[in-house]
Amino acid sequence: MLSLTKEERLTLVCLGAVLLLGILANYLLKVNPASKKFFNSASDEVPRHLKVDVNKATYDELLSIPYIGEKIAESILKLREEKWRFTDLSDIRYIKGVGKFKFSIIEKYLTIGP
């Protein structure tokens, strides 16, 4: 009844492993809200060393961030000069060309240094 080739057996085992891992992650997310942090950091959060200090960033560093083009990078630098330094990242939201969605991505790559 369960005659399988070696390839089929491998596929079955892999499928089982993926399913098992999936339900473990799902279960942990349900019973332990702290594990949400781990899963969010794996998918959403940008590692600390990849974040750019918006008060020290150069033009090229700003350009390396997704959704920041030449115009937005120039506007950020100009705003920084005007304000002397950023105290709140949401100030970037008011730059022309930075919408709600774009800002939600950009802010993950930026930080305000000491």
Partner 1 sequence: MTYPFVSLCISFCLGIFVAETFRLSFFLLFSWAFLFLLLSILFINKSLTFKIFILAAVFFLGAAILRNAQTLPSSHMAKRIPFKSDSVFLIGVIESDPMDQKRNTSFILRAEKIKENGVWKTTCGKVLVKVFAKGDFSYGDRFFFIGKVYRPFSFSKDFDYRKYLAHQGIYSILSLKKGSSLKRLSQNAGNPLKAFSFRIKHKIRNVIVENLSPFCAGVLNAFILGDRQDLPRYIMNVMVNLGVVHIIAISGFNVGIVAFILLLVLKMMRIPRRPRYLLAIFLLILHCLLTGANAPVVRATIMAIILLMGFVLEREVHVYNSLALAALIILVLNPCQLFGISFQLSFLSVVFIVIFTPKIESLFPKTLKAVPWIRFFILTFSVSLAAWAGLLPLIAYYFKIITPIAVLANMFVVPLATMIIIAGLSLASLGILVPHLAPILGASNEFLILLFFKINYLLVQIPGAYFKLPQIPFAVVLLYYGLGLAGFFMVSLFAKRRSYR
Q: Which residues bind partner 1 (CB under 8 A)?
A: 1-4, 6, 8-10, 12-13, 16-17, 19-20, 23-24, 26-27, 29-31, 33
Q: Which lies closer to partner 1 via its Cβ, residue 19 or residue 50? A: 19
State which residue, 2 or 42, has the beta carbon closest to partner 1. Answer: 2
Rounded to 10°, the helix 6-31/35-43 angle is 120
**Helix locations, 48-99, DSSP H:** 59-63, 70-83
Cβ proximity to partner 1, 39 vs 59, nearer residue: 39
Backbone angles phi, psi at 110, to 5 degrees: -110, 155
Q: Least distance from C-beta 42 to partner 1, angstroms?
A: 19
CB of 77 to partner 1, least distance (A): 38
Question: Helix or strand or coil: residue 53?
Answer: strand
Backbone angles phi, psi at 65, to 5 degrees: -85, 135
